[in-house]
């Protein structure tokens, strides 16, 4: 495994991030524990989750699965850089209650304590805001964060799904307070097929020293050889991938992508991950394996070297917006 610093911090994290969203809904607890053991054995030390994972009536289930894994001992907790998120309403379905969601100081304090209990740990390494809260000023958010840092409950703070101007606002407010490091990472939708983050989010993250953590690196399976699997009678596309393939032009683009990689003898999913690892500012993409084999495939991407010829060809199939501000200014 290869490692890098998380943004401008001294924290060393693996170039692949283990995403746990499937733990509970798609993969049972025993299977989830096996995947985490395999990830740790492979050198992945950066695990990402969220308080809401498990979804519906099982909100919080994923954190509990991770907590039970930590409780097995063997230095599991000490070896992991643990990231979770706050924003969603954690009240029971149909029983949403004021102040049980978003980023008020009250909810942040409540949510941290609940996550710590489920995760069976005394601190969270990276606490991430899962979404922008348009009604809570950053001064209030940073006051709550400062208290939690002083209490030793969290170490670093990151954002997720923030536009560039909110990254600037957040870290501007942190700088005015003094003594607050501010956001150190941004977790955003970013992959070969979805490159809008290059216009403002990634430039803002690099300017303010945030590590970029792309989620959905295969764009819902679209970049994982979806047409080939369909032809071979494997798992059919669903969700975002199915919606995209319904457009003939988009389907032709994905076919060109798969044909290009077939010519080079490369697997589509591994190549999509390896491409992200070549992008400026990217700390590491989040991989969310449902099985041990999917994890092994993702691990191969770390060692994959993409030629300049191939990178150019990928840009021709999936052109990015270009440099900012030229991309939107003229």
Active-site residues, by number, are 53
- Structure letter (DSSP) for residue 156: E
Closest to 159 in 3D by CA, of 110, 194, 204 = 204
Q: How many CB atoms lie within 10 A of CB 28?
A: 12
Q: How far apart, in Å, are the Cα atoms of 314 and each of 93, 195, 247, 263, 311?
A: 44, 12, 20, 13, 5
Closest to 111 in 3D by CA, of 133, 92, 84 = 84
The structure tokens listed for 82 are 């643990």
User: What is the H or E stretch that residue 258 is in?
Assistant: helix 248-263
The structure tokens listed for 310 are 């191939």
Asked whether the CA dihedral 69, 75, 77, 80 is positive or negative, the reply is: negative
CA angle (240 as vertex; 238, 244 as ends), nearest 5: 100
CB 116 within 8 A of CB 82: no
Q: CA–CA separation, 288 vs 322, rounded Å?
A: 29
Q: CA–CA separation, 186 vs 162, rounded Å?
A: 7
The structure tokens listed for 219 are 């764009």
Q: CA–CA separation, 16 vs 301, rounded Å?
A: 9
The structure tokens listed for 241 are 């991938």
């Amino acid at each position: 495994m290869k490692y890098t610093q998380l943004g401008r911090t001294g924290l060393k994290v693996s170039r692949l991030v283990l995403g746990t969203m499937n733990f509970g809904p798609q993969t049972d607890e025993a299977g989830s524990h096996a995947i985490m053991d395999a990830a740790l054995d492979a050198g992945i030390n950066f695990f990402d989750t969220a308080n809401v994972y498990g979804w519906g009536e099982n909100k919080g289930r994923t954190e509990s699965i991770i907590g039970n894994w930590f409780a097995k001992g063997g230095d599991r907790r000490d070896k992991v850089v643990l990231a979770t998120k706050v924003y969603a309403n954690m009240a029971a379905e149909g029983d949403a209650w004021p102040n049980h969601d978003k980023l008020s100081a009250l909810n942040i304090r409540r949510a941290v304590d609940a996550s710590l209990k489920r995760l069976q740990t005394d601190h969270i390494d990276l606490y991430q805001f899962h979404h922008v809260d348009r009604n809570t000023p950053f001064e209030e958010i940073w006051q709550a964060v400062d208290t939690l840092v002083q209490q030793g409950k969290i170490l670093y703070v990151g954002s997720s799904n923030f536009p560039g101007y909110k990254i600037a606002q957040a870290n501007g407010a942190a700088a005015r307070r003094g003594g607050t490091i501010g956001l150190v990472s941004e977790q955003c939708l970013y992959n070969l097929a979805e490159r809008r983050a290059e216009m403002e989010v990634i430039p803002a993250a690099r300017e303010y020293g945030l590590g970029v953590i792309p989620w959905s690196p295969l764009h819902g399976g679209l970049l994982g050889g979806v047409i080939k699997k369909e032809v071979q009678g494997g798992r059919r596309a669903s969700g975002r991938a199915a919606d995209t393939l319904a457009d003939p032009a988009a389907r032709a683009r994905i076919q060109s992508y798969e044909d290009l990689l077939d010519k080079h003898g490369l697997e589509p999913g591994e190549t999509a991950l390896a491409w992200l690892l070549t992008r400026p500012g990217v700390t590491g993409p989040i991989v969310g394996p449902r099985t041990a084999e999917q994890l092994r495939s993702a691990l191969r991407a770390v060692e994959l070297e993409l030629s300049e010829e191939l990178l150019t060809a990928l840009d021709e199939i999936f052109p990015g917006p270009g440099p900012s501000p030229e991309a939107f200014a003229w």
